[in-house]
Structure 1
Amino acid sequence: MELNLDSEVLSAYGYTKEDTEITQIGTGLINRTYLLAPVSAHKKFILQNINTAVFKNPQTIATNLKAVGSYLKSNYSDYLFIEPVSTIDGEEMAFVKGAYWRMLPFVPDTVSLDVLTDPKQAYEAAKQFGKLSRLLNNFDASMLEDTIPRFHDLDLRFEQFSTVLTETSDELKELAKTEIDGALRHRYILDHFKSYSHRTDFPDRVMHHDTKISNVLLNDRTFTGVCVIDLDTIMPGKFVSDLGDMMRTYLCAFSENETDLSKIKIRLPYFEATVKGYLSEMKDILTPTEKELILFSGRYIIYMQALRFLTDFLNGDVYYPINYPTQNLDRAKNQFALLHELSVNEKELQDIIEANL
């Protein structure tokens, strides 16, 4: 029993602590998540506390999900879209003692992975994210609001980096000299993106914006894709947000917390599986400009994440939790190493893309 879960949250959904088995689950850094098994319901639910330090206006999440859910229900009724369960008062979220909560149906016979161990898993995950984008291709993305404004805006991230560079201590600048030079040297990625941003065939789409492997449910026996989860960041964006984040998180066997940079290598079978899975759904949807920027999407997101880690280090580690003083600097080094690997393997990676278009 999770004693820290307020009984008022459960009562908002018609349950009590006495008749509900409660287990805290998940490895996400943003929202607290619980698995509920009410005796009276004979089914399970996921209960999440919305982190208002990250999501300043939680109602935006509910509004976006309602709009997308209604569209999918009307046009693709067989698609499994995980919509929040209403409170007993008919609200999309519960507001208890200044905190926002939402309940979701638990999907049986599924598993979410924290680590990829087989290219097939990358294929299935990429296919699921691609499928959601394909089904929402004709949905008007402008109907959605930003749940985290300018979340994947590289212009903003470079601006934040530039600002903190003028404010940080000489000591931190000296420690991060190589990474600062790398951040400035790779500014061409931002300039390249800007040169495409006003093209008419580079549209805003409904993007998930957080396509790590744990945000897809797979069948717990066959590991085929079932559906996409954690839809808090579903909002307008460019396709590079989803595909680029997959490249950032699927291609290397080690996360951004790995400090041995010799281990930061791109696994070509995982790259091929990711591209194949995504294009199996999106090949006929992507525009010529988007197809031209497939590999660039990885550069865009990896560079952005390197900037964010570096900026946080120079700013005194105010955003990303750390376990030791230079962890965010090490994370930036890790991401710059991954960015380098993308360049080193560019020809082979581009050949894989061309073979699947």
Structure 2
Amino acid sequence: MFQEVLGAYGLNVEKFKIEPFGSGLINHTWKVYSEELAYILQEVNTEVFRQPQNIAQNIETIKKYLDQTAPKYLFVAPISTTDGNDFVVIDDHFYRVFPFVENSCSIDFVHRPEQAYHAAKQFGKFTRMLCAFNVKKLKPTIEDFHNLPLRVEQFKTALEQATKERIKEAKFAIEEIIRHYDIEEQYGHMVDSSALNLRVVHHDTKISNVLLQVDTGVGLCVIDLDTVMPGYFISDVGDMMRTYLSEANEEEKDFSKIAIREDVFAAIHKGYMEEMDPVLNFTEKQFFIYAGKFMIYMQAVRFIADFLNGDTYYKTNYAGHNLVRGLNQIDLLNKYIEKQSRFEEIIKKINQDRMSDSKTILN
């Protein structure tokens, strides 16, 4: 396989070392390197991305736009084969090659607020640079990816069809999902009232999807662009809240380890809004805190629905794994909601400091 794929790019497989790379759970990724050259080789998971051609088309369309409007921006797009193709297809498997960005690195967890700041700034910058781009040119790469009303309907269906044993086991989780139905209702009102603008958003803003400079830790660019498609800014902000705020991730069984780091929340807001403040309208800015509730709740709903369905979607490693994941996210959600007044104070302080800095510069 390696010989055939690399050969399509004019590369001699015998001159390179090849080893697994990164921590992604969807696509298979390898680093292909020699003393002089380095690339990233990836096989696209077509069970998740059923129309990989849409990914290629979206990336190429965005690349052409950024080449014209922001030619200095580091946009890591796949390189073309010697025949000018975006993919190499072997036995219905789709492969592509990216340039390896030297002196860059990625991390899997947010250990310090400044890491969250640089990541949020890069995701904000990406959407800001595409604010004048015609979002209708992009095709969905995963249908209904962040469609919260659909996820709630799927939960209701799962609840109707679940066994008595699973319903009994998930009793508390089910009650909590129902108790927070207002989060989905608010989302519906926001969309129906056109309070949110459709934008180009990344949709998968975990910290590992940002390249950082090795020496300084400064953000370089966003990567893993397969989920880039039309959406609302709350998807990107919410996913950062869900995955950055607590040191304990969704796999943690000891919920006492789930804690909201206020300094990380402040870093996310500061980094993202440094880029997006001129772009978001007044109404959208009022939903910044809501974004966290939106994404955390949706993930909890998905885990519990899958548990009720008999664990048919997410891979599980032990009995009740999806229930534990769902309860984990419910705990995170409740702790996030408890912090809402503090979040409002933090945002107010950041905005006051920004205005003070602006006045100082003008004077």
Using the size of structure 2 for normalisation, the TM-score is 0.95
User: Post-superposition shift, 1:355?
Assistant: 2.8
Kindly provide the CA deviation profile for residues 30-57 of structure 1, in whole angstroms up to 9, marking residues without a partner as x. 0000001156xx3211111000000010
Q: CA deviation at 1:16?
A: 3.1
**Where in structure 2 are the equivalents of 1:1-357 lying within 5 Å?**
5-38=1-34, 42-357=36-351
* Aligned mates of 2:338, 2:194 — CA distance in 1: 31
Would the aligned equivalents of 1:275 and 1:353 in 2 still touch at CA under 8 Å?
yes
1-structure distance, mates of 2:86, 2:193: 37
Helix, strand or coil: the match of 2:227? coil
Aligned partners of 1:279 and 1:356 also within 8 Å: no
SS of the aligned residue for 1:23 comes to strand
Q: Which protein has the bigger helix share?
A: 2
2:264 counterpart SS class: helix
* Distance (whole Å) between structure 2 residues aligned to residue 79 and residue 11 of structure 1: 29
Q: Partner of 1:303: helix, strand, or coil?
A: helix
Q: Distance in 2 between matches of 1:8 and 1:318?
A: 35
Q: CA RMSD in A?
A: 1.1
Query: What is the CA deviation profile of residues 177-205 of structure 1, one whole-angstrom value per residue up to 9, with x for unaligned ones?
Result: 10011111111101011111133452100
Aligned residue for 1:232, secondary structure, equals helix
SS in 1 for 2:225: coil
More divergent stretch after superposition (16-25 vs 73-82):
16-25
Report how far residue 293 of structure 1 moved. 0.3
Give the whole-Å Cα distance in 1 for the aligned partners of 2:9 and 2:312.
Answer: 35
Identify if the C-alpha distance between structure 1 residues 338 and 75 changes in structure 2 by more than 3 Å, giving closer, same or farther.
same
Separation in structure 1 between the aligned mates of residue 12 and residue 303 of structure 2, nearest angstrom: 42
Question: Contact 1:157–1:308 (CA<8 Å) still a contact in 2?
Answer: yes
CA–CA distance in structure 1, aligned partners of residues 121 and 201 of structure 2: 14
Deviations 1:293-323 (A, max 9, x none): 0000000000000011111111122222221
State how far apart, in whole Å, the 2-side matches of 1:186 and 1:251 are: 20
Q: CA separation in 2, counterparts of 1:151 and 1:38?
A: 38
Structure 1: unaligned runs, 5 residues or longer: none
Instruction: Give the TM-score normalised by the residue count of structure 1.
Output: 0.96
Query: Percent of pairs identical after alignment?
Result: 45
Once residues 148 and 194 of structure 2 are traced to their aligned partners in structure 1, the CA distance between those partners, rounded to angstroms, is 20
